[in-house]
Structure 1
Amino acid sequence: MASVEGIGEARRLIRGAAAATLATQADGQPFASLVTPAPGPDLSPLLWLSTLSEHTRHLAQEPRCSLLFTGTTEGPNPQTAPRVTVTGLAERVPEAAVAGLKARWLARHPYAALYADFADFGLWRVRILGALHVGGFARAERIRAAELAPDPAAVAAILEAEASIVEHVNADHADAVAAIAEGLLGAGPGEWRVVSVDVDGCDLSEGNRTVRLAFLTQVSDADAVRTALIRAAREGRARIAGTG
């Protein structure tokens, strides 16, 4: 059984990644490429892929793949960076589900609106089958898919409440959003907005910039999201004031 700390960090890496390395194969030959994922509500990585790309053609023939998500290192040795490799099966998202998930992907990558409607692009989802988390040099553990996945009931509850949470926070608490982005996350000034919420945190965007607020624990309803945002805003204001 994987450690609680390892599972938590693996989920944070997947949720917070702006880019990842995708490994596919063609006729037994491995192929690695840079992709820009966004996590679905259930943690499944979402990929907006062009049919002109080699990796997309590979996935159409062989859906087995892996994704490497890498954090930042605090020293000169890249091996000390936290990272997680997930293995899974890639599939095209059914047309009926594309609109909502595409909006979630664009919330993470707003700059991509310039090409997101090109006819050769489509939405893919990777169903996670397992993971290997490395917390740093010589600190590795395997994580089963069931251990990594968030609670389905909590995912459904937050997804149902997400639109109203986003609308309310942005309309009535813009100052709190700014405090979180600028004070707590160090993202600098701007007209920051909450653009998505999930059981592990929320994304804030300003123009083409997006930052991630990771909650301290998994949330399961709107009240828990409210509590997490109040805490984050209070800490952000304290840091701005120099008292935190």
Structure 2
Amino acid sequence: MVTDNPAFEARCLVRGAASATLATQAAGQPFASLVTPAAAGDLSVLLLLSSLSEHTRQLRAEPRCALLFQGQAAEANPQTAPRVTLTGLAAPVPEAEVPGLKARFLAKHPYAALYADFGDFALWRITPAAAQLVGGFARALRLRGADLLPDPTAVAALAAAERDILDHMNAGHAAALAAIAAALPGGGPGGWRMVALDPDGADLGFGERVLRLNFSAPAADPAAVRAELIRASQEARPGSA
């Protein structure tokens, strides 16, 4: 995905990633581990971490960290893969915010419901400070936090409308969702449902599989989301109204 909006491009990579590499450190010694992230509407990165993990202990001592998100390489050379390195500060999610943000995490990683309520697991949030986007070989640029993050007004507008939009699509547009899912990488037949929404796109889920639908541009309000979903449906079903 190459666009004329690098911040949007970077956010789509972050939101679409099923896994990422988390970089932490202890006493100056770097440490890297595999994690399964989910992005909230404001692009804060949610991680379900065990207190038994080395990286969790390191984040408690030093919250500064980085995440590497990687897309698919266009060629045999892995360096052609688009990727984003996001830096930020990690902290446990306050108890009052856990229910809503845990639901967001489980929408992205439904299999995690098996252990999400174990006593040693807790939801963490990484607040982005900056990022570097590498859009392929020899295409790199840095993004300050203010340039990377989505419009707060759009985030709030879609958060308020998300449940209504999801209910509307799942109750009345199952065929359109199935067609969209079939056209996405990794998609196929099934009872696909829209499980999450943000200004940059939507997540479609079926069982433990989750697909990412990127919008063609950031959506500022429900009307823009509707236009994007109509576009995606028409592209998936040429000739449909």
Same fold (TM over 0.5): yes
TM-score, structure 1 as length reference: 0.95
Residue 133 of structure 2 corresponds to: 133
For the pair 1:168 / 2:172, whether they are aligned, the reply is no
Residue 149 of structure 1 corresponds to: 149
Whole-Å Cα distance in 2 between the matches of residues 183 and 137 of structure 1?
A: 27
Compared CA separation, residues 185 and 73, structure 1 to 2 (3 A) = closer
What RMSD over aligned residues (CA atoms) do the two structures have, in Å?
1.4
**2:164 corresponds to which letter in structure 1?**
S
Alpha-carbon contact 1:89-1:129 (below 8 Å) kept: yes
Secondary structure of 2:237's aligned partner: helix
Secondary structure of 2:106's aligned partner: helix
After TM superposition, the structure 1 stretch with the greater mean CA deviation from structure 2, 208-217 or 178-187, is 178-187
Whole-Å Cα distance in 2 between the matches of residues 220 and 139 of structure 1?
A: 28
Residue 219 of structure 1 corresponds to: 219
Secondary structure of 2:41's aligned partner: coil
Secondary structure of 2:187's aligned partner: coil
Secondary structure of 2:135's aligned partner: strand
Unaligned runs of 5+ in 1: none
Q: Deviations over 1:65-101 (max 9, x none)?
A: 0000001001111111110101100011110000000
Q: State the shift of 1:226 in Å.
A: 1.1
Whole-Å Cα distance in 2 between the matches of residues 92 and 56 of structure 1?
A: 10
Secondary structure of 1:43's aligned partner: coil
Whole-Å Cα distance in 1 between the matches of residues 216 and 23 of structure 2?
A: 31
Q: State the identity %.
A: 62
User: For this pair of structures, how many residues does the alignment match?
Assistant: 238
For the pair 1:26 / 2:26, whether they are aligned, the reply is yes
Unaligned runs of 5+ in 2: none
**1:233 corresponds to which letter in structure 2?**
S
**1:219 corresponds to which letter in structure 2?**
A
Q: Deviations over 1:110-165 (max 9, x none)?
A: 11111111111111111111111111122111100000000000000000000010
Secondary structure of 2:188's aligned partner: coil
Alpha-carbon contact 1:184-1:235 (below 8 Å) kept: no
Compared CA separation, residues 37 and 184, structure 1 to 2 (3 A) = closer
Whole-Å Cα distance in 2 between the matches of residues 65 and 109 of structure 1?
A: 22
**1:75 corresponds to which letter in structure 2?**
E
1:36-185 aligned at under 5 Å gives the runs 36-185=36-185
Whole-Å Cα distance in 1 between the matches of residues 209 and 169 of structure 2?
A: 19
TM-score, structure 2 as length reference: 0.96
Q: State the shift of 1:178 in Å.
A: 0.6
Alpha-carbon contact 1:154-1:220 (below 8 Å) kept: yes
Whole-Å Cα distance in 2 between the matches of residues 219 and 5 of structure 1?
A: 13
**1:154 corresponds to which letter in structure 2?**
A
Whole-Å Cα distance in 1 between the matches of residues 208 and 14 of structure 2?
A: 20
Q: State the shift of 1:185 in Å.
A: 4.6
Secondary structure of 1:205's aligned partner: strand
Whole-Å Cα distance in 2 between the matches of residues 183 and 78 of structure 1?
A: 25
Residue 6 of structure 2 corresponds to: 6
Alpha-carbon contact 1:20-1:68 (below 8 Å) kept: yes
